Amino acid sequence: MSISKQLTVFSGVQPTGNFHLGNYLGALTQWLDLQHKYHSIFCVVDYHAITVPQNAANLKRQVLDIAKIYLAAGINPRRALIFRQSDIAEHTELAWILNCAVARMSDLNKMTQFKDKAGSKNASVGLFDYPVLMAADILLYQTDIVPVGEDQLQHVELARDLAKRFNQQFGHAFTIPEAKINKEGARIMGLDDPTKKMSKSAASPANYIALLDKPETAVKKIKRAVTDSGSDIKYDVKNKPAISNLLTIYSLLANKSIKELERKYTGKGYGDFKNDLAEVVSKFLTDFQIKFHNISDRQVAKIFSQSAKKLRPIARTTLNKVKTNLGL
């Protein structure tokens, strides 16, 4: 009888900006389900954060806060390993090796996120190389499943390509990972512009609802959210992108289907709909923030160090294999 390996799940979030409902509904809610079935590893990717300038005290705070967000959302540290990327040196070591052995300028030149973000000649080399470090994160732990929002698909595709290339050219060292995208919530759009994704680095805070926004602030943002022409509450992404986005948020937070919501608001206007959505969001944030504030920095520090202890040997095993295959 063959013993099948338990599948490994890996994902991460950058400790930058305001963790928002898009991050929560696109990425984190998937992690909550997966942690019950698979060997789950969730990373706070602080080396990715420094691809753009950071303030030291602020970065330190945000690293702890992202871990608290994972915990407050329901990631259970007895089921999943929560760790800080910079605690495990093998991430940058493997990234360097992938840079040289298999990653090519032509691969990275295709990455749309870099093109969107790197407006200036002052962009760091690290920002250009960001997807290779992400591939190293994933491949170090022989990851099978990478739950992310839709915007990260291209990066996971690259991780797959690099792994395949390495295995072919130098001998097997990596599991080929697969992205997992939520059917709904994969791309939550900005409240101020439903044609662009909700984003931590948006120019205006009216774009997003942060999980740490005051509930009153979130209510105001919903009331001011852009709506479409007409007055029907109908899910129609093409013709009614703003209401469709608000319906998605409502449906996922209240655990009600979109059809059910459309029925509930037949004959009612945007005002009634927004009032109720504001209440749903406000309650969600209040409950979430009580849990968040109950977690101490010390608890997080302990979780980081225990997880890193368990993960280092796995990372080392992969890296040793890679180095042997290359003759290093």
- The residues that touch ligand ATP, with contacts defined as CB under 6 A, are 13-14, 17, 22-23, 26-27, 148-149, 151-152, 186-188, 197-201
User: Which of 60, 180, 200, 268 is the catalytic position?
Assistant: 200
What is the CA angle 291-60-186, rounded to 5?
60
- State the catalytic residue, choosing from 110, 115, 183, 197: 197
To ligand ATP, the closest distance from the beta carbon of 266 in angstroms equals 28
By a kind-dependent CB cut-off of 5 to 8 A, residue 197 interacts, out of ligand ATP, ligand LTN, none, with: ligand ATP
Q: Which of 117, 256, 264, 321 is catalytic?
A: 117
Q: Which residues contact 118 (CB under 8 A, 6 or more apart)?
A: 127, 128
184 binds, among ligand LTN, ligand ATP, none (CB under 5 to 8 A by kind): none
Q: Shortest Cβ distance from residue 133 to ligand LTN (Å)?
A: 7
Q: Which does 201 bind (CB under 5 to 8 A by kind): ligand LTN, ligand ATP, none?
A: ligand ATP
Q: Which does 137 bind (CB under 5 to 8 A by kind): ligand ATP, ligand LTN, none?
A: ligand LTN
Least Cβ distance, residue 2 to ligand ATP (angstroms): 33
Q: Which residues pair with 13 in a beta bridge?
A: 44
Name the token pair of 25: 């509904």
What is the distance between the alpha carbons of residues 83 and 88, in angstroms, rounded to a whole number?
A: 9
Phi-psi region of 171 (alpha: psi -120 to 50; beta: other; left: phi over 0): left
Q: Does the annotation count 200 as an active-site position?
A: yes
Q: Is 262 exposed, middle or buried (0-12, 13-18, 19+ CB in 10 A)?
A: middle
Q: Which residues, 6 or more positions from 184, have their beta carbon under 8 angstroms from its beta carbon?
A: 25, 248, 251, 252
The least distance separating ligand LTN from the CB of residue 135, rounded to whole angstroms, comes to 8
Question: For this structure, is 164 an active site residue?
Answer: no
As annotated, the active-site residues are 117, 197, 200
